[in-house]
Amino acid sequence: MNQKGMKIAACALAGAIVFSGLKFQSGAAGVSSVLPVAGLALVLGEGSSVTQIKEETKQTKAAAPLAENVLKNITSAETLTAETVIKTPTITIDDQTTATTAATGVVQEQQATVIPEAVTETAITDVTAATDASVQDTTVSENKIEETTVSENKLTEEEKEFSTLVIAKVNDYVNVRDSASEEGEVVGKLYDKSVGTFISEENGWYQIQSGSVTGFVKAEYVVTGEEAIELAKEVGVRIATVTTTTLKVREAPGMDATVLGLVPIEDQLSVLEELEGWVKVSIEEGEGYVSHEFVTLSTEFVEAESKVEEEARLKAEEEARKAAQAAAAKVVSKTTQSSSDSSAEPAAVASGGSGAGSSVANYALQFVGNPYVYGGTSLTNGTDCSGFVMGVYANYGISLPHSSGAQRGAGYDVGGLANAQPGDIVCYSGHVGIYIGNGNIVHASTAATGIKVSNASYRNVLSVRRIF
């Protein structure tokens, strides 16, 4: 039955046939059905027998001459079903008569009320319109959900990771407190552009976890959400850490591509682009590609420092500085114009900074012109970049790891190239050098150039570490 038929059938008496004031009881319970008969509505219970209806019609033929029309319209079916279409006008009777008829099965006369066709059509139109509006609202709601899902799906894996971050946006640092109040005890510091993970919000404060610090920062001094996602891309450093003994960096993404350079295990490379199965990175020889299979990707951020960590760091830095200065004092008097390891004249002379730092820089300059050898540690016969820095500092009694990535953790960070002094280690993606002042470094560059002097900003600087 179509929707229009079902709505009109709902207002008819289930299980009865109404003919111009005469009613016929079908004797069967169930869902009501309606059949168009001579401008009237025939309503009878589903499953009513055609034979039974014929008999009842004959008995009341004298009182209901219109029943002949019923017989003509139902001879083609043995049993009437709920698929019959309604035609108006529809005749209704009150609930009282319905109950009496159902109980006694006696045919009674009842004044019928005719519902005008126009009224019925209007009601149906209103109901249909309301239903359509409801469906439309549901569709709109579903579309909004779908749009939200699409919006979330548009985020890259990296952006989804950043969406939970809280990033400090201040001149220096914001205090991390043990409660959501300025009266709370300071448990650490979240420095400018340092990052924490959002936990909860309370009265204008964010509870965060950063490094070993868990506490509250005032919301007005940090950014979250979309702003944090965008800022994270600026302050975070995407790193590919080498997981194989010797990683080949190729000129193009493919195993058949020419090898551009070699990188040792545990070295860290700046990621320029992530492709299907390949990662574009920056090395001393230029930009190249490494297989995703042989690196681990991560994003590095500066995190909060607890009060205990800050005190320990300052103490360790002071002790390391004193030890380095004592070691450097032993060789400050040595000439920097000649060396038993090399007869090459220095390409530059270190300027500025501490006496110990300048001594380190001048000592390193003695080896300019010597060869670059991947994996080497000899300042005279060949060394790679980290081997060069390691060898120079070994002369002052300072032990450093043979890895550019590991050397990024040596000493302490001075806050960028603008604060660099002679002797500082300047760290790049997969490369390191020694700052000599005036914006220059000395470093074991490539096999083609050997140990040389370059402008310190010739590549993007990741950090500057101070040993002395």
What angle in degrees, to the nearest 10, is found between the helix axes of 67-74 and 50-59? 160
- DSSP class per residue in 397-427: T----S-HHHHTTSSEE-SSGGG--TTPEEE
CA atoms within 13 A on the CB side of 179: 5
Residue 321: both structure tokens together: 């500085």
Q: Give φ, ψ of 450 to 5 degrees.
A: 70, -155
- In this structure, are residues 187 and 213 in contact, taking their beta carbons and an 8 Å threshold? yes
- In this structure, are residues 163 and 229 in contact, taking their beta carbons and an 8 Å threshold? yes
Q: Any catalytic annotation for residue 385?
A: yes
Residue 286: both structure tokens together: 């230029």
Residues 6+ apart with CB under 8 A from 319: none
Q: Where are the alpha helices (DSSP H) in 38-111?
A: 50-59, 67-74, 95-104
Q: CA quadruple 318, 366, 451, 375: dihedral positive or negative?
A: negative
Distance of CA 253 to the CA centre of its chain: 27
Q: Any catalytic annotation for residue 427?
A: no
Residue 337: CB atoms within 10 A of its CB come to 11
Q: Distance between CA 192 and CA 174 in Å, rounded?
A: 8
Nearest to 381 by CA among 429, 318, 435, 444: 444
Q: What is the DSSP letter of 99?
A: H
Catalytic residues: 385, 431, 443
